[in-house]
């Protein structure tokens, strides 16, 4: 049930590069094969290519760039990307999933629902959810309350990986506290 994003950007870059190279080769070879008039830049390309030897540093650099690009494309094709849909725990024989961004928003809302929390940053990993909350004051009770709220939301959503929740609370600076108190009068 794990859906992964498509590799559209690398495929588009590779397709456009190959199209450009193919067009350049075709525009260079077709006039010579058909007896038509050569393009003006044909002489420049031939002169530059005849001036390069196999021992030239430009040949080695172009070969190295081609190999590095090929290895990068192979790695993109073989290595999995982050999942966009995370499977939920199986129940009643129904397979279901949750979108990564939806899970991120739900866990952020759970952490922000704790009194005293002004803002939250959530980091989702495969087996761990890390919560960094910003609040007016730091206390072990607030950290525990944030962790418990997020842990309860993870339990309710029930992802198949059942990640472990860790929480940290950072204290807001005096300028940020004044700014947030003006914007959010009901939250302290």
Q: What fold is seen in the domain 85-183?
A: Alpha-Beta Plaits (3.30.70)
Provide the 3-class DSSP secondary structure of residue 114: coil
Using CA atoms, how far residue 147 sits from 9, 98, 100, 136, in Å, is: 37, 21, 19, 17
Interatomic CA distance for residues 33 and 182, integer angstroms: 75
Q: Is this prediction's pTM over 0.95?
A: no
Strand-pairing partners, residue 85, are 3, 99
Unique residue bearing structure tokens 């990993």? 125
Interatomic CA distance for residues 102 and 111, integer angstroms: 14
Write down the pLDDT at residue 40.
62
User: Would you list the domain boundaries of the chain?
Assistant: 8-78, 85-183
Q: What percent of the chain has pLDDT over 90?
A: 22
What's residue 134's pLDDT? 92
Evaluate if residue 154 carries a pLDDT over 60: yes
In this predicted structure, which of 31-45, 47-61, 113-127, 154-168 has the lowest mean pLDDT? 31-45
pLDDT confidence tier of residue 39, bands split at 50, 70 and 90: low
Q: Is the pLDDT of residue 181 over 70?
A: no
Residue 153 confidence (pLDDT) above 50: yes
pLDDT for res 188: 39
> In this model, does residue 124 exceed pLDDT 50?
yes
Return the pLDDT at 177. 47
Q: Assess whether pLDDT exceeds 80 at residue 104.
A: yes
């Amino acid at each position: 049930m794990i859906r992964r994003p498509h590799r559209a950007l690398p495929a588009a870059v590779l397709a456009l590069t190959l199209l450009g190279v193919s067009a350049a080769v075709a525009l260079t070879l077709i006039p010579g094969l058909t007896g038509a008039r050569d393009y003006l830049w044909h002489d420049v390309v031939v002169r530059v290519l005849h001036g390069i030897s196999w021992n030239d540093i430009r040949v080695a650099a172009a070969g190295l760039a081609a190999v590095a690009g090929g290895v990068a494309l192979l790695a993109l094709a073989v290595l999995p990307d982050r999942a966009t849909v995370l499977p939920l725990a199986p129940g009643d024989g129904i397979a279901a999933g949750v979108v990564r961004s939806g899970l991120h928003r739900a866990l952020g809302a759970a952490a922000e629902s704790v009194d005293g929390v002004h803002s939250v940053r959530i980091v989702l990993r495969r087996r761990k959810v890390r919560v960094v909350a910003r609040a007016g004051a730091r206390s072990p009770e607030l950290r525990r309350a944030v962790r418990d709220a997020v842990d309860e939301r993870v339990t309710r959503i029930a992802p198949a990986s059942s990640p472990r929740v860790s929480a940290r609370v950072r204290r807001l600076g005096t300028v940020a506290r004044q700014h947030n108190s003006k914007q959010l009068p009901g939250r302290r």
